[in-house]
Amino acid sequence: MRRAFFLLSCLGLGACAWEPGQGFAVLEPTVRAAYEPLADRTTPDGYQQLSSNYQVLVDGASLRLSGIELIAIAGGSGGGFNPANPPPGYSLCHGGHCHRDDGALIPYEQVAAEAGGGGGSSTVATLPVTGPLNLLAPERLAVECLPDCALPQTTVSQDRWGIESLQLEGTVRDARVPARFPGERRFRWVLSRTSTSEAPAAVLDGSMDLPSDRSTPPQAKLDLNLVLTARLFDAVDWSTLTEGSDGVVEISDEENREVHAALKERLATVSPEAEVTRGER
């Protein structure tokens, strides 16, 4: 009788926002990852100008993801922890931790618990992304949700991208006169997780506001975007890097470890973006 009343009410109103057994929000997620040139940095022959007056041309870029976690943080987007807006006492949040003013690195869960009165955070769904992604020929991919795209009642406020591996390669030259090194140099940067660890090689965090409740339409199209640019290389002094016997600068090699670490730290400050479009009630 109750279900019959519900169905008659739906017919009388013309439409219903949800049905018995349906999630509070039902996701339709897509993912896009790209390396893109910046218009204000592009030289006539396609290089990207860096703040250091070096110029780079990336001609190979691939990415593997271990997955994207959708995370609900206690207090939601209204009063809880948001990595893009560090709470008092913290200067920067990225890569799964925050830099406290005393220099300590504090995990997100602990910061969220402090900010939200002990509620912490939880993963409500994981988006698996298969295969290597060609960042120079990006595609928008429809992905599934684990365990389900029908979410419980909550507010998703963060997307956490686990990077399994990233490879960028290309050519660098010096625009200064006199140049710090002659001609052009090939370079390759490979970031990958270690064989002895299940942890991602890097973690990127984005913010969103995706309520999953009965006051918003249930259908939720979620478009996630990651864009890498030449800004990643701004702080590199390319003249200090050691070339290999084949003439290629392997940034991941031991002799270039300080630059490798600096690039990894800079990568962790990149924030993916999320666009949420709600369906009709």
Give the C-alpha distances (Å, rounded to integers) separating 186 from 18, 47, 210: 56, 13, 43
pLDDT of residue 180: 96
Which pLDDT belongs to residue 7?
Answer: 36
Residues contacting 262, CB < 8 A, separation 6+: 235, 236
Quote the pLDDT of residue 9: 38
The pTM assigned to this predicted structure is 0.81
Under a CB-based contact definition with an 8 Å cutoff, are residues 119 and 112 in contact?
Answer: yes
Q: What is the pLDDT of residue 22?
A: 54
Q: pLDDT below 70 — which residues of the chain?
A: 1-23, 74-80, 116-120, 280-281
Per-residue confidence (pLDDT) for residue 151, from 0 to 100 = 95
> Taking the CB of residue 239, how many other CB atoms lie within 10 A of it?
14
Other beta carbons less than 10 A from residue 251's beta carbon: 24
- Looking at residue 280, its pLDDT comes to 62
Element (H, E) at 260: helix 257-267
Count of beta carbons in the 10 Å neighbourhood of residue 104: 10
